[in-house]
Amino acid sequence: MKKNLKKMAAFGLCAAMGTTMLAGCGGSDSGDGGSDGGSSGGSGKKTELAFGIWDENQRPAMEKLVEAYEKENEDVSIEIQLTPYKGGEYWTKLEAAAGGGKAPDVFWLNVLHLDSYVDGGILADLTEAIDASDINDSFPETLVENYVRDGVNYAVPKDFDTNALWYNKEIFDAAGVEYPTDDMTYEDLVKTAEDLKAAGLDDGVYPFACPVDFQTWYYQTVYANGGYILNDDKTETGYDDPKTQEGIQCWIDMIEKELSPGSAALSETSADAMFEGGQLAMNFAGSYMVPQYAGNDAIADKIDCVEIPTFNGVEDNCINGLGYAVFEGSKNKEAAIDFAIWLGSADAMKIQGETGVVISARTDAQGYFADANPDYNLAAYTNHSDKAYPLPVCMVAAELYDLEATYLQKAYNGEESLADACKELKAEADALLAK
């Protein structure tokens, strides 16, 4: 395992995957990492488990889960260890701890790290335990399969995030333009943006934003348009496919029509920050942004959301999320697996869902997210989640996303045509996959 961990470090995995865009939710405070664990054995001592997470906003929910599990299992004691996601600190610390045999017994894992961690020997095989539970029948198949490689299941789905179209009612009212609806198409989105612009918005206010953002913007339309990013065996990219390029060009078109701030401006100030600052009438946002939007007194009572507009008549939404994984080197692996499986239970998913911070992955618990935030149309995130597209992942996913950002930025800012940028991107990306 240590040999493979060194190989992961050589790839620069931690630094490359530090971007908060891939996190789902970010954290702000750190906790101690690593645990030697303990065993009740015949001594009467409790079995001690360490539980690794990265989001301070979710700590209260995780504390409730731990409290509920410990109440049912009085011989187990669980310590939450929080390490921030920002800058890759969570992954750096996790990999260092795993190399020393002291990683948390149960920890959060995203799909983007799965392949490298499987290769690194960090993850315990949960297949038998999952098969013996109701998880396969109680979760969307896509979410379960996210953590399966070569028939082995390495994590219990925790939550997921999809995307929705948010809008500022105050800006719409001032412009005299009708609010967005759940049944909008991409063409409707463009027409609404054009109507807002024609109505005359305040200086510095734009109808929409089109950043170089794969998960929330262009992957959705690429997939809906029949394009692709990776082929099935992950040996070649699809950036030269006309359908892929059409799914990207649609956002560049909106920038060229001045319906969105330019690429340079969005590089300096994020679309989320502009929306929260009242500078955007509409914005796409992942479900992980709901607590932040709802907690912003400047806009909280002025905003609402609807489903992502369809593209070419096809539902276009990307789905990502987290899972609960177990450290292969845990000294209390059996107890850790039991805890991880319990975290996927109906009771556990209800506890998490009722906090309203994330959408619980379990099908019968997804509605709690909307119920916890009744002021907004949050069903927009879950109404068609079964049709959402999973992110393309591979051993070099982080490097691939970085290359996309570098080359597509040239097309978004008008430095190159999209065709030329994608030609250069494909050459370098395919070479990366071939290594």
Q: Which residue from 109, 53, 45, 46 is spatially nearest to 80, judged by alpha carbons?
A: 53
Given this model, what pLDDT does residue 353 score? Answer: 95
What are the tokens at 417?
């045509």
Contact 253, 187 (CB under 8 A): no
Q: Which residues of the chain fall below pLDDT 50?
A: 1-3, 5-42
64-82 tens-digit pLDDT: 999 999 999 999 999 999 9
Given this model, what pLDDT does residue 12 score? Answer: 41
CA-based torsion, 17, 22, 24, 25: positive or negative: positive
Q: Which fold has domain 2-161+319-390?
A: D-Maltodextrin-Binding Protein; domain 2 (3.40.190)
Going by their DSSP bridges, the two strands 282-286 and 163-168 should be labelled as antiparallel
Residue 177: phi and psi, rounded to 5, are: -110, 140
Given this model, what pLDDT does residue 44 score? Answer: 67
Given this model, what pLDDT does residue 30 score? Answer: 36
Q: Compute the distance between CA of residue 312 and CA of residue 71 in angstroms, rounded to an integer.
A: 51
**Are the folds of 2-161+319-390 and 163-318+394-434 the same?**
yes
Model confidence, pTM: 0.86
Q: Which CATH superfamily is domain 163-318+394-434 in?
A: Periplasmic binding protein-like II (3.40.190.10)
Given this model, what pLDDT does residue 57 score? Answer: 87
Given this model, what pLDDT does residue 39 score? Answer: 46
Count CA atoms within 13 Å of residue 79 on its CB side.
18
Q: Give the relative orientation of helices 89-99 and 2-10 as an angle to the nearest 10 degrees.
A: 150
> What are the extents of the domains in the chain?
2-161+319-390, 163-318+394-434
Q: Compute the distance between CA of residue 244 and CA of residue 191 in angstroms, rounded to an integer.
A: 23
